[in-house]
């Protein structure tokens, strides 16, 4: 896969350059000076890493000579939250942002990126941990949208929400416990929509940081929507109100 780099020197070169490394896997029990160097570089850059058995690394490298290390590289460089806000400013529009709180399915993130770009959103924010990254599957499902909309990766979603609120952005969370439906809420003006993870939804602290919560009507037997579908419903209700 083109979103993987394996071998000690290639990974060191990637860490030394401008490549966006999402996570690194090391072979458990393997000792080598270069492995120690890569571990130290990962710690310094705050890149998540994990020790796994040789069989797992062989699978990740698909038979390649990994030398005990495999790194996953982002298919697109990450932006910053400031980049997203500046993008809105340059367009003369109120910020319109999607926050994905811990999605694990690359198909969901790819679909959300595609929808967000189609709707003219200014950017997407994902957490550094507990989230799928901009891998090859996400890039493919986005149908090219990954090249046209900034995605920021942050260490703490709750703190980022506080930062957005200081910039005048209202934050709407999606939760089944909400007292009002999404079409009854004011989704005009500076807005960030928070979509929760598959199965668990929005985290407790993130939910508490939201300015208000909304829910989508669920009339049939199924109690929740796919994350990317829920995002699409919310995004286009905001578009309808803004029009």
How confident is the chain (243 residues) per 10-residue block, as mean pLDDT? 79 83 91 92 90 92 89 89 97 97 92 96 93 88 92 95 97 93 96 90 92 94 88 97 91
Write down the pLDDT at residue 68.
92
Task: Please give the model's pTM, rounded to 2 decimal places.
Answer: 0.84
Longest Cα separation, the chain: 60
Q: Measured between alpha carbons, how far is 169 from 196 in angstroms, rounded to an integer?
A: 19
CA distances for 92 relative to 30, 46, 122, 190, 239, angstroms:
54, 35, 11, 12, 16
Q: Measured between alpha carbons, how far is 176 from 196 in angstroms, rounded to an integer?
A: 11
Dihedral pair phi/psi, residue 228, rounded to 5°: -70, -35
CATH number belonging to domain 81-242: 3.40.1280.10
- DSSP assigned state of 12: H
- Which CATH homologous superfamily contains domain 4-73? Ribosomal protein L30/S12 (3.30.1330.30)
Per-domain boundaries in the chain: 4-73, 81-242
Write down the pLDDT at residue 97.
98
Write down the pLDDT at residue 1.
41
**Kind and range of the H or E run holding 89:** helix 81-91
Give the E-state strand segments of the chain in sequence order: 4-6, 21-27, 49-52, 69-73, 96-101, 123-127, 151-154, 170-174, 191-196, 212-214
């Amino acid at each position: 896969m083109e979103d993987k780099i394996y071998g000690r020197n290639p990974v060191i070169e990637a860490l030394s350059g401008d490549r966006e490394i999402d996570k690194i896997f090391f072979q458990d029990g393997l000792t080598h000076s270069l492995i120690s160097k890569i571990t130290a570089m990962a710690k310094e850059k705050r890149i998540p890493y994990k020790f796994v058995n040789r069989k797992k690394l062989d699978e990740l490298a698909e038979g390649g000579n990994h030398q005990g290390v495999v790194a996953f590289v982002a298919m697109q460089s990450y932006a910053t939250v400031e980049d997203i806000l500046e993008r809105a400013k340059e367009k003369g529009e109120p910020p319109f942002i999607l926050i994905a709180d811990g999605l694990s399915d690359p198909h969901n993130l790819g679909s959300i990126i595609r929808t967000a770009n189609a709707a003219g959103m200014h950017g997407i924010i994902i957490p550094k941990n507990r989230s799928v990254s901009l891998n090859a599957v996400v890039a493919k499902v986005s149908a090219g949208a990954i090249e046209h909309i900034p995605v920021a990766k942050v260490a703490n979603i709750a703190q980022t929400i506080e930062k957005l609120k200081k910039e005048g952005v209202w934050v709407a969370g999606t939760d089944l416990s909400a007292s009002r439906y999404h079409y009854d809420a004011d989704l005009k003006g500076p807005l960030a929509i928070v979509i929760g993870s598959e199965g668990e939804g929005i985290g407790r602290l993130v939910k508490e940081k939201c300015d208000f919560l909304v829910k989508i009507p669920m009339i049939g037997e199924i109690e929740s929507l796919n994350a990317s579908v829920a995002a699409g419903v919310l995004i286009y209700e905001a578009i309808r109100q803004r029009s």
